[in-house]
A and B are shown apart, each in its own frame.
Chain A
Amino acid sequence: MIRLEGVHKRFGSLVVLNGISFEIKKGELVALLGGSGSGKSVLLKHIAGLIKPDKGKIFINGAEIASLNKKELESVRKGFGFLFQGGALFDSLTVFENVAFPLKEKTKLPKEQIEEMVFRYLELVGLRGSEGKYPSQISGGMVKRAALARALITDPKIMLFDEPTTGLDPQMSLSILSLINSVHKRLELTGMIVTHAIPTVFKITKRVILLHKGKVAFDGTPQDFMDSKDPVIRQFLGEEEDVI
């Protein structure tokens, strides 16, 4: 469903991705780990077609994303959901309007049905009662939850989560991850979660990819990841300080 072949990206002299290759099968949910600035968000944006690689190819459902024209790319993106690190809610719209936005703009659903769906998803992310507020009037965690509701409301087939639990308290983090898990199971969602919530995220993912210095340093199960003696992984987990 998602396949990367030797993806390279550099910004000026900074090499961010240095030959990334992996494949994610349909229905698979993968945790993408890595230190700050290791290129996780950049990699997600490549998969979503927001950034083009300098070298290498990215395939979504067999179609190479960089070679698609605007119309084809829009049609591929119809099945996409993306939770941005900062939420990316529209400042000028209320929480309700933000969550309703993709349905209002991309579907012909009646107003009442949109309203019912928005309230259902706001309930799911624990934001019922905040629907009339603007993004500037709510906390960072609430922004993230509203953004999650907006991303999930269109029932995407591929979902990319950029740090869905950062800024949330442990209980809310857990409920957001279990929400992702339930949506993943219900919709057979294919997805990738960038997160630092280790080991909580391993409750919902069966595969882990670790990025280090622009390359895939580990690709395997959470159990193997935790048991690994690889110094890069041990250092990432905060156990060895002077390896890298």
Chain B
Amino acid sequence: MFLFLLQSLVLCFTPPIKVGLFLRQIRFIGAQSLVVILLTGAFSGMVLGFQGYYSLSRFGSEAFLGPAVGLALIKEIGPVISALMVTGRAGSAIAAEIGIMRISEQIDALELMGLNPLRYLVVPKLLAAVISVPLLTSIFDVTGIIGGYLIGVKLLGVGSGVYFGEMANYVDMKDVLEGIWKSLSFSVIIVWVCCFKGYYTGIYTGFGAEGVSRATTQAVVTTSVLILLWDYVMTSLLF
């Protein structure tokens, strides 16, 4: 599994890069995930607005709602939920697509043409995810902050200047970078695990439609668990 990742990463820096396939993946992983990211981002921010206000008001610290929402979203919730959403929407499709290509011998056909299947199936997805997932995470964060603003400021009466002013005081560039590093690593995990599970459909999961469905389930579950596990590792390293 690590060799699969290593080979794919090496190919990312070895031309030729399949630009057409890369752009198609940007659209698939990035653009087509936008709606789900906007929705989950907005509602996550709104829930944080309610919960944050409820908790902070117990200590008379409602003024810190902005930083609380901002830090939670930028450092943790944004990267993790965005990655989980991309896994559910695009990762499952990636595993199923490559799995079907495996059982219908399309991957064998590529090999027999003397072409490296990883260059066609994995590299464009890896590059597209590395660009798309951090961008989607940023959109998630911004939407979440707006969601928190709507609840905290417009509904519960926290001052608008206080919400954003305190957020600016307490959220550093280091926090933003932490979120970006996390989402970058999550993007690699998503493509790596989902492509691997699809690529080796048959060997580990059995052939046929059942094999593909098993590979897809395994891809989503393994990726989700790895995202949370790696999130813990990165948080403890960057704390």
Interface of A with B (CB < 8 Å)? 45, 48, 50, 74-75, 77-78, 80, 82, 84-86, 88-91, 101-102, 105-106, 154
Contact residue among A77, A102, A106 (Cβ-Cβ distance under 8 Å from B111): A77
Q: Is the CB of B113 within 8 A of A48?
A: no
Can you list 28 residue pairs at the A/B interface with Cβ under 8 Å? A45-B108, A50-B111, A50-B112, A77-B111, A77-B112, A77-B113, A77-B114, A78-B114, A80-B112, A82-B109, A82-B112, A84-B105, A84-B108, A85-B105, A86-B104, A88-B105, A88-B108, A88-B109, A89-B106, A90-B101, A90-B106, A90-B109, A91-B100, A91-B106, A101-B113, A105-B113, A105-B115, A106-B114
CA distance A106 to B109 in the complex (A): 13
B90-113: which residues lie under 8 A (CB-CB) from chain A?
100-101, 104-106, 108-109, 111-113
What total of A-B pairs shows CB separation below 8 Å? 43
Instruction: Tell me which residues across on chain B come within 8 A of A80, comparing CB atoms.
Output: 112
Instruction: Tell me which residues across on chain B come within 8 A of A154, comparing CB atoms.
Output: 113
New contact pairs (4) apart from A50-B112, A77-B114, A101-B113, CB-CB < 8 Å: A82-B108, A84-B108, A90-B109, A105-B115
Residue of A nearest to B112 (CB): A82
CA distance A102 to B120 in the complex (A): 13
Q: Is the CB of B105 within 8 A of A86?
A: yes
Expressed in whole angstroms, the minimum distance between the Cβ of A166 and any Cβ of chain B is 14
CA distance A91 to B97 in the complex (A): 10
Q: Is the CB of B106 within 8 A of A88?
A: yes
B62-112: which residues lie under 8 A (CB-CB) from chain A?
100-101, 104-106, 108-109, 111-112
Instruction: Tell me which residues across on chain A come within 8 A of B101, comparing CB atoms.
Output: 90-91
Instruction: Tell me which residues across on chain B come within 8 A of A84, comparing CB atoms.
Output: 105, 108-109
Instruction: Tell me which residues across on chain A come within 8 A of B100, comparing CB atoms.
Output: 91
* Nearest 9 CB-CB pairings of A with B: A88-B105, A88-B109, A74-B114, A77-B114, A84-B105, A82-B112, A102-B113, A78-B114, A88-B106
CA distance A102 to B109 in the complex (A): 10
CA distance A45 to B100 in the complex (A): 19
Expressed in whole angstroms, the minimum distance between the Cβ of A139 and any Cβ of chain B is 16
CA distance A48 to B112 in the complex (A): 7
Q: Is the CB of A50 within 8 A of B113?
A: no
Counting chain A CB atoms within 10 Å of each CB, the highest count among B100, B104, B114, B115 belongs to B114
Residue of A nearest to B108 (CB): A50
CA distance A23 to B208 in the complex (A): 34
CA distance A139 to B104 in the complex (A): 16
Instruction: Tell me which residues across on chain B come within 8 A of A88, comparing CB atoms.
Output: 104-106, 108-109
Instruction: Tell me which residues across on chain A come within 8 A of B111, comparing CB atoms.
Output: 50, 77
User: Given A86-B104, A88-B106, A90-B106: A106 and B113 within 8 A (CB)?
Assistant: yes
Expressed in whole angstroms, the minimum distance between the Cβ of B20 and any Cβ of chain A is 11
